[in-house]
Amino acid sequence: MTEIGLNHILFVSIALFFIGVYGFLTRRNMIMMLMSIELILNSVNLNFIAFNKYLWANKMDGLFFTIFIIAIAAAEAAVAIAIIINLYRSHRSIDVEDASDLKF
Amino acid sequence: MFDKLTLSLIPLLPLLSFLMLGLFGRKVFKNFSGIIGTGALLVSAGLSLSTAYNYFFVSGKVDGVYQKITALKISWLEFSPGVSIDIGILLDPISVMMLVVVTFVSLMVHIYSLGYMKGEERFSTYYAFLGLFTFSMLGLVMSSNIFQIYIFWELVGVSSFLLIGYYFDKPSAVAAAKKAFIVTRFADLGFLIGILVLSFNAHTLDFETLIQRLTDPNSEYMRSAIAPAFLGFSSLTWGLMLVFIGGAGKSAMFPLHIWLPDAMEGPTPVSALIHAATMVVAGVFLVGRLFPVFAISCPGALELVAYTGALSALFAAIIACTQTDIKRVLAYSTMSQIGYMMFALGVSGYGNEDGLGYMASMFHLFTHAMFKALLFLGAGAVIHFVHSNEMNDMGGLRKHMPITHITFLIACLAIAGVPPLAGFFSKEEILLAAFHHNKLIYGIALITSGITAFYMFRLYFNIFWSKEFHSHGEHHGEGGIVMMLPLILLSLGAAFAGFIPFSQLVTSDGKPFETVLHLSFSVAPVLLGLAGIFIALRLYKTQNDIANKISSSLSGFYSSAYHKFYIDEVYLFITHKVIFNLLGKPAAWFDKTIVDGFINRLGSSSEKISEETKTLQSGQVQQYAAYFLAGAIGLGIIFIYVLTLK
């Protein structure tokens, strides 16, 4: 077995990213969409960590960025869930297809 | 010399009367608005008489020449140094003469209207309009600047419009007012362009400077002005011809005369003031004002004036023989007499004896104002008495209206040129000037003077003789002192104005000259006039069939003259059929299909496009995300494979 290299991690990251995108585009449940977004964010985090480790191992930029993204993602999740709750209260549904009042 | 205040008061008093009566007349001055208007005019007339005395006999003459005096000059709008619109007062023989004519006739009409318009509901409005008219006309004759004259020119047009349409509940009066305004306004367009052409060439709007620059053959202004500019005429000729078109419109010269007969819809005193004595001679005055330029620099344009005048004189005289509405007869007579004044200017030269035609024209303007105002006021008295404009309703009125009868007879004799009344002298001078200059015009003038005598006495006999007058219902006599006094004063003018030595006072270059009346020369016109009177006497003094027989034997000619030679129909044909179909309809089509069509197509196609594209906004968040993703991927492909390949 060879050592796990940068490419391996990037493959995982890409797979994670597209799974997230696929989920975001196909799931009608807003909670599921929110979770898909988390997947996308985490694939990005994975990229940052991998590049930091393999290319600039003596620097900390990627790590800090990742921590930053995790913090933002927590805030984003809080806001998104608040929106979803409000939507549920007004529409009695969290199906994204029902939330189309603002079209033309 | 001349007091600025006095001179300014002459036009400003009527303006003041207009403002007072126009703003407060109906409420405050209800019962004495006529007195206010007449009083203002009385003062104004007194001031202009004293000005005339002062000018002609005291201080106007320097070294034997009457000067052009700019008594007042206020720079109003300055476009560039030298070119400015000034408001000023220019005194020269013709403007002083016009001051007297306008204020005198206007005063007569004001007094006369006290009786004629009594009991009208809009009595004070009527006097307000009269004041406005008198103000504008006085401003016009005193103008020192060609643009100032244009302003007042339009103002007299407006007041004429208001007074023709005075009986605004009568559709024919409204139509006549509109017609007068539109026709003269159309001609004024020519005037305005003429002003622009002249002032462009002379680099000034001031009359004195303009005349001086455009008559000096060595000036630089003349060189550019007489160079052929357009269609073979020089710009000077064009300018003068265009100015003359404006004058012809106001003065009802053929073919712009069509408004004048219809203008008789206005109250009769108004016709006497505006459409006989003052406003319609504004065109003659204008040509007279620019006369040195016409005579010295551009004889070609003067020819146009001469032939237009002669044609109008004859043409209107023939029509006047067939009309039955007495005011229309007088209207055509006015047009014919103004034609006389015009061609008298046209056959005149400049300076001394050559300027005989100019002097004669101004002389005739003066005498004509007297007897034509008298004729109209007399006709007004008759209409007041009979309550009809038609000749057929009249006849035998001489016993019922003795004063009107005598004064009307004096005016008829004066216009027919019977010596020694006023018309004889002025007409003699005109004929003499025409005889020396152009035999064709002399012939036309001679024939016209015979016809004039005929139709005036046809009118006279039909009103006062013909048949017995059967009075039906109550009649109120001739109209009292206020209506008779102006008739008597004007008949004195019509009788004795001929003895004024005009050649000593009003000449083309200001230098007096002697005129001699050749008795042998006067024989032909006087005999022709008497012949005209005699024929009218035979045909119309008693009722008989001769007139009808003659008219039916001339049936084609008679009926075309009766229908005013179908000029109105020609205008209708040109405007309705030719202009409407050839210009109006294509223009309307172009506007509707091309201009409107383009804008409409623009609107409908953008509506269609937005209809198509609005479905993109579906409200489905995931759809947007998919588009966004596709876009991001597309951009990524472009950045990676296309932009980095180089």
User: What integer pLDDT is reported at residue B476 of this predicted model?
Assistant: 63
CB proximity B636 to A under 8 Å = no
Tell me what pLDDT residue B553 has. Answer: 77
Q: Which residues pair with B78 in a beta bridge?
A: B84
Cross-chain CB nearest to A25 (options B617, B619, B622): B622
**Entry field: residues in chain A:** 104
Which two three-digit tokens encode residue B417? 């040129």
pLDDT, one tens digit per residue, over B406-429 is: 998 999 998 888 877 888 888 888
Contact A96 B618 (CB under 8 A): no
Contact between B423 and B371 under an 8 Å Cβ cutoff? The reply is yes
Of B392, B397, B394, B359, the closest CA to residue B500 belongs to: B359
Asked if A25 and B620 come within 8 Å (Cβ–Cβ), the reply is no
Q: Cα torsion at B347, B353, B358, B363 (round to 10°)?
A: -130
User: Which residue segments constitute the domains of chain A, with CATH numbers given?
Assistant: 6-91 (1.10.287.3510)
Average pLDDT for residues B14-43, to the nearest whole number? 85
Residue positions counted in chain B: 646
Residues of A in contact with B618 (CB under 8 A): 100, 103
ipTM value, please give it: 0.85
Reported as a pLDDT band with limits 50, 70 and 90, residue A64 is very high
Chain B environment of A101 (Cβ under 8 Å): 619
Contact between B629 and A25 using a beta-carbon 8 Å cutoff: yes
Identity of the residue in A24, A33, A103 whose CB atom sits nearest the CB atom of B619: A103
- The answer to whether B622 contacts A26, with C-beta atoms less than 8 Å apart, is yes
pLDDT of A91 reads 87
User: Would you say the C-alpha torsion A71, A76, A79, A81 has a positive or negative sign?
Assistant: negative
Q: Which helix (H) or strand (E) holds B211?
A: helix B207-215
Other CB atoms within 10 Å distance of the CB of residue B436: 16
* pTM assigned to the model: 0.78
Summary mean pLDDT of chain B: 85
Tell me the pLDDT tens digit for each residue of B521-570. 888 888 888 888 888 888 877 777 777 777 777 777 777 777 777 888 88
**pLDDT tens digits along B180-216:** 999 999 899 999 999 988 888 888 888 888 888 888 8
Residue B422: its pLDDT value, please?
85
- What percentage of chain B exceeds 90 in pLDDT? 18
Instruction: Report yes or no: B629 at the A interface, CB cutoff 8 Å.
Output: yes
CB B525 within 8 A of CB B447: no
Three-state DSSP class for B89?
A: strand
